[in-house]
Every structure is written in structure tokens, then in C-alpha cells.
């Protein structure tokens, strides 16, 4: 059975530099948080990288956060779960620690069932946030080459443009779980069908 797609604009806005969305009183259970934040010009030093790993674990432990994260010299990438208020406190804790996280678009979803929550917190020290094989000086500058940011509802409108092209940069496993599907007559979707992210530079 097909389901009609519903976009709620107020729930699709970036929260960079803004108050985080309030806890949904109708949503029982916990919350899931997804975000990434790149650091550049300059990237963290080796000492700052080590300190960042320690600090993220410290804040996560303080608020009983569970989940997985990667800390690289180029920033932080996490998928975390916890109680709704604790998840928001974790985000504000990152902002208080480092101003760079005022630029982070924290994606929070409330109403996560207990059996879907992570059981423990695992934050790893890595060379890259995503394993493209472009760590350090090999990575292109986001400030120089980043595209225009689109809010979620604007992105859905852009998918209707027949001259637009969407490249799914995730691996084949992630893409198979779920991906954007442009409407008929809309944008062209290209799936590089990568087994691993490191294959993306070669595909380009």
C-alpha cells in the first residue's frame, strides 16, 4: 500500500545557532540524535583531537547518552540515543564546550522505542569522519567548494526539477535501506553503488 508523503516545514528547518526543538509531549520513549560537524581552517591539532575525544565522552557520560561516534581531526560525526531532555542537554553541552557546534544542524527525533536505543556509548578516534581516504590535506575545503544548503522542504521542491541531478554518496547497503526518490519527470538520481565510501573519489 502506498503512503502519501507529508512534509512538515517547521520540523524540517536547520537548528544551527538556534534553540533546539522542544520535547514532543506526545512521543513516548527516548530520542535519537544524528549530526556531523566539520572543523577546518585549521583542523584540530593532534592534542586537540585527543582532547575532543575525551570531552565528547565526558559530556555523553554526564547525560547517560548511548550510541556511536567518530572523532577525527576534521570534526565529529555521531548517531546517539538517550532520554529526550538528556539528548538536548548533550547538544547544548557541545555548544558550551566549542563554538563550532553552534553551526551544527542537530537532527533529533523523539518517540524512539526502548528496544531501538543503543545499549552503550562508543566514541572512536579516527582519521576521517567518513572513510573517503581524503584525510588531512587531501580533503577539499568545505568553505571553498560546499554547495548551497537547502532546507528539507526546499530540497523536495528541487527534486521536481528535471534539470537537477542527485548523487547518492552513501554505500550500497545504506542506499538500499532508504534513499530519496525524485518524482516522475523530476531530477535524475545517480547511485554509484559503492561497497565502501573510499570508492567514491575513484568513481568521481
- pLDDT digits 0-9 by tens, 20-63: 999 988 888 999 999 999 998 889 999 999 999 999 999 999 99
Tens digits of pLDDT across the chain (204 residues)? 444 544 556 666 788 999 999 998 888 899 999 999 999 888 999 999 999 999 999 999 999 999 999 999 999 999 999 999 999 999 999 999 999 999 999 999 999 999 999 999 999 999 988 777 766 666 666 677 777 888 888 888 899 999 999 988 877 777 777 777 899 999 999 988 888 777 877 887
pLDDT value of residue 1: 43
pLDDT value of residue 150: 85
Q: Which H helix or E strand runs over 49?
A: helix 46-62
Q: Which H helix or E strand runs over 36?
A: strand 30-38
Between CA 10 and CA 152 the distance in angstroms is: 10
Beta bridge partners of 9: none
The grid coordinates listed for 158 are 528541487
Q: What is the DSSP letter of 129?
A: S
Between CA 96 and CA 2 the distance in angstroms is: 44
Q: Do the bridges between strand 75-82 and strand 66-72 make them parallel or antiparallel, or are there none, so unpaired? A: antiparallel
Q: Which H helix or E strand runs over 78?
A: strand 75-82
Between CA 21 and CA 111 the distance in angstroms is: 14
Buried b / exposed e across 135-171, counting CB within 10 Å, b at 16+? beeebeeeeeeeeeeeeeeeebeebeeeeeebebbbb
Tell how far CA 103 is from the center of its chain.
12
Beta bridge partners of 109: 32
pLDDT value of residue 199: 80
Q: Please tell me whether residue 33 adopts helix, strand or coil conformation.
A: strand
Q: Please tell me whether residue 57 adopts helix, strand or coil conformation.
A: helix
CA distances from 171 to 35, 131, 177 (A): 18, 11, 10
Q: Do the bridges between strand 30-38 and strand 66-72 make them parallel or antiparallel, or are there none, so unpaired? A: unpaired
pLDDT value of residue 8: 56
Q: What percent of the chain has pLDDT over 90?
A: 56
Amino acid at each position: 500500500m502506498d503512503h502519501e508523503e507529508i512534509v512538515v516545514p517547521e520540523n524540517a528547518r536547520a537548528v544551527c545557532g538556534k534553540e533546539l526543538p522542544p520535547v514532543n509531549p506526545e512521543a513516548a520513549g527516548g530520542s535519537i540524535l544524528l549530526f556531523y560537524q566539520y572543523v577546518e581552517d585549521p583542523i584540530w591539532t593532534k592534542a586537540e583531537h585527543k582532547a575532543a575525544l575525551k570531552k565528547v565522552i565526558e559530556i555523553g557520560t554526564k547525560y547517560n547518552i548511548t550510541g556511536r561516534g567518530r572523532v577525527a581531526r576534521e570534526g565529529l560525526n555521531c548517531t546517539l540515543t538517550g532520554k529526550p531532555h538528556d539528548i538536548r542537554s548533550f547538544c547544548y553541552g557541545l555548544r558550551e564546550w566549542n563554538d563550532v557546534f553552534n553551526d551544527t544542524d542537530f537532527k533529533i527525533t523523539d518517540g524512539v522505542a526502548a528496544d531501538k536505543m543503543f545499549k552503550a556509548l562508543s566514541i572512536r578516534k579516527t582519521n576521517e569522519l567518513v572513510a573517503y581516504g581524503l584525510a588531512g590535506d587531501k580533503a577539499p575545503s568545505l568553505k571553498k567548494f560546499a554547495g548551497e544548503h537547502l532546507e528539507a522542504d526546499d530540497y523536495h521542491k528541487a527534486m521536481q526539477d528535471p534539470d537537477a541531478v542527485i548523487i547518492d554518496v552513501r554505500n550500497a547497503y545504506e542506499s538500499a535501506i532508504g534513499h530519496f526518490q525524485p518524482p516522475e519527470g523530476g531530477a535524475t538520481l545517480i547511485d554509484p553503488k559503492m561497497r565502501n565510501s573510499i570508492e567514491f573519489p575513484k568513481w568521481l
